[in-house]
Structure 1
Amino acid sequence: MMLTGGSDTMYCKMLMSTLSGVALEWFVSLPDGHITNFNQFATLFREQYLVNQAPTRLSYDIFNVKQYQGESMKDCLNRFGVQVVRLKPTDEAMIVHAFVKEMLPGPFNESLLRFYPKTF
């Protein structure tokens, strides 16, 4: 619609037609004439449902990746790597520390502690 053009009225009607359940009940409960343009409608909608947004990921969330009992080192390393890519932490030492800290005790973990890696 934005590429081909359209009025605020059309934008509002199209967005309204996608609502269902609680969101539709919220919209219907608004007073008549309350919404005067699409930007206002979009702002009201975002404000109403802002709490439903996923929390912002923080770089120190990589400390939440733990090796599970019975999980292979390869699978754990893959999961950890995915989180590093998602979170984009910039502190290499923090990445290494998070990885070493969350490994289960065993020969690999012991070797990491003896010869602490400088990079991930």
Structure 2
Amino acid sequence: MHLQGVADEIMCRDFSTTLKGPVKVWFSRLTPNSINTFKELSTQFASHFIRGHRYKKSTTCLMSIKQWEDEMLRSYITCFNKEALSIEKSDDKILVAAFTNGLRKGKFLFSLYKKDPKTMSDVLY
């Protein structure tokens, strides 16, 4: 678009239509009318994402992970672990609580209630 001589205003508006995930979140948090040129937009974009800024997740996001009715336990564990690894600081008690909260009712869940594991290692063992 830049080579075609398209106006800055059009490039800025078109830029937002290509965004996904964290980039879309970043863009939506920009103050309206705070950027005047596409060069300014691209500079802010590059400086924000090149420095490796990551959005931190809290352990509360783990409470939304649920095992589907037809989902295998292995798949649920994989999904839960993937999210748990994205959390900077996590407490084992909270991880165990969130994990068991998301399990569907069944023999495995009831065996966890009986054994009362204190760590995720205990749960997975």
User: Structure 2 length normalisation: TM-score?
Assistant: 0.55
- Name the residue aligned to 1:84: 84
Q: Deviation at 1:57?
A: 2.5
- Name the residue aligned to 1:72: 72
Q: Which among 14, 20, 27 is matched to residue 22 of structure 1?
A: 14
Is 1:96 the counterpart of 2:91? The answer is no
Q: Deviation at 1:21?
A: 4.5
Q: Structure 1 unaligned segments of length 5 or more: list them.
A: 1-15, 25-29, 47-53
Contact 2:93 2:118 in 1 (8 A): yes
Contact 2:80 2:99 in 1 (8 A): yes
C-alpha separation between the residues in 2 aligned to 1:79 and 1:55? 19
Contact 2:56 2:87 in 1 (8 A): no
Report Cα offsets for 1:50-92 as digits up to 9, x if no partner: xxxx975222111111100110100000000000101234211
Contact 1:63 1:102 in 2 (8 A): yes
Q: Deviation at 1:118?
A: 0.8
Report Cα offsets for 1:2-48 as digits up to 9, x if no partner: xxxxxxxxxxxxxx6xx464349xxxxx8xxx66xx6xx249966xx
Structure 2 SS opposite 1:66: coil
Q: Deviation at 1:97?
A: 0.5
C-alpha RMSD of matched pairs (Å): 3.3
C-alpha separation between the residues in 2 aligned to 1:76 and 1:67? 6
Aligned residues: 85
User: Structure 1 length normalisation: TM-score?
Assistant: 0.57
Contact 1:96 1:119 in 2 (8 A): yes
Question: Where does structure 1 differ by over 6 angstroms across 4 or more consecutive aligned residues?
Answer: none
- Name the residue aligned to 1:107: 107
Identity over aligned residues, as a percent?
18
Larger radius of gyration: 1
Contact 2:57 2:88 in 1 (8 A): no
